[in-house]
Structure 1
Amino acid sequence: MTTLSTAMPVVARRVTPLATLQQTMTLAWRSLVQIKHNPWELLDLSIQPIMFLLLFTYVFGGAISGSTGDYLQFALPGLLVQNALFYTLSTAIGLNTDITKGVFDRLRSLPIARTAPLSGRIIADTVKQVWAFVLLVGFGMILGFRVTTSLLGALGALALLVVVALAMSWMSVLIGLKASSPEKVQMISFSTMMPLTFTSSALVPSDTFPGWLQTWSDINPVTHLANAIRGLLIGGEVAGATLVSLLWAAGFAVVFAPLAILAFRSRV
């Protein structure tokens, strides 16, 4: 007598959009809770921008603007931009560390959306960006910085900075997924962000640059973002610089987000 056994097909359970959102927020909370067990992460996020603010204001401020007070008004919006872009390196390093240590392998064995770990990391780092903005503006006001526009302008500056940093973070995410170690992520990302920041009008007026460097600075996305944030906080050009910044953000997202997601899916 022959016994026929029919194997039942395994049907993969599809994760609903609501469940994906819940899982993403859970993993974002996981990244934030890690600060409790590793407070040095928050200290690094807090101390580094304050150190840069003090250094540039009191070491270079008098030479660049004639007084530290005038330079503080000019430079703090640019330092906000610099800090936000540099912090996208932490997104890439944290992502690479989770992958190389096998954290994502363990998460992949769970019935969750494959994109939830990546989305959770990005959302958590966006929350940290907000913290860094509030801290730097608050400390700057202690030193004498003043928002001369309005509360709405300050909130607009925060929103614009988060949107552009979030879009540009996809480039860092791609580097974090492609690099073989956190050290290489840091080297590649820093080598990318440093020239962008220091060849812009974030920290010094671009009209002091040589002609060829002014040409590059005029199209540098960091220049437009710094000008927009400066205009929203202390007055000046807003509409044009904001529009160009948003166009750059859209460009970064359109180019790097699909590449980063593809790299993420192939690696995990």
Structure 2
Amino acid sequence: MIQPGARTASADRGPNIEATARFGAQVDFGRTASDYGTFRAGFPEAFFDRLAGTGAFSGVATILDVGTGTGTLARGFARRGMRVTGLDPAPALLDEAARLDRETGVTVDYRQGTAESLPFPDAAFDMVTAGQCWHWFDRAQAAAETFRVLRPGGFMVIAHFDWLPLRGSVVEATEGLILEANPAWTMGGGTGIYPQWPGDLADAGFTDIETCSFDVTQPYSHDGWCGRIRASAGVRASLDPAATDRFEEGLRALLAADFSAEPLLVPHRVWWASGRKPG
């Protein structure tokens, strides 16, 4: 078990990609679709505002959001008047995304498929985005496919909205519980910064590559935090129901004992890498 305050060897460099790939083989986010849609906070409005401030939306009418999950990025762009297509391999997540869209009053065209084999013609989109998912892909193939379906001059954004296990925080304590329940989990101790991703873009032929980040606190009730953690890769997406229930009992006991104040103010980091297809 990793003790509170410790870090994995790769934490300061971002995720352990090989370990994440091995762990990912046993993860099924379809099992978490309801919790994912209900409790997992989407990208904050400040992300879309700051991205717009870079001029990224200039000339953008069509967006493809790969690994869309429950559509948190897709909805944000649709609210800003873009024509958005969301792609994900999990039908349960796409169903949840469509339900949330109806509640929000936006329309996104959802398709089932994978980032490594995009079912779209060349130069079909002005922008491609990937939120909270790039580490699950065959990154070289996904980057090549992204490059293919972008028009010349098109824009690519790989974005993350990650909790931060700062010393003494509820995140650090929660990660310790996840590791106790699921020693195979490889995604703890992160910094919310992914130095490998700009290299993926460069290798695929993108230019004008930039990165940006900012930190926020995300409020959660105790019920909301328990739901958020159930929806994570290390819990309901990879543990059986009985183990998930045992984990949640431990998490609720931890919150009652050490983090009783509500709402919890959970530290997060928004980070993204972007690049343009020449032309």
- The TM-score range, normalised by the shorter chain, is under 0.3
Name the structure where strand makes up a greater proportion of residues: 2
Name the structure where helix makes up a greater proportion of residues: 1
TM-score, normalised on structure 2? Answer: 0.25
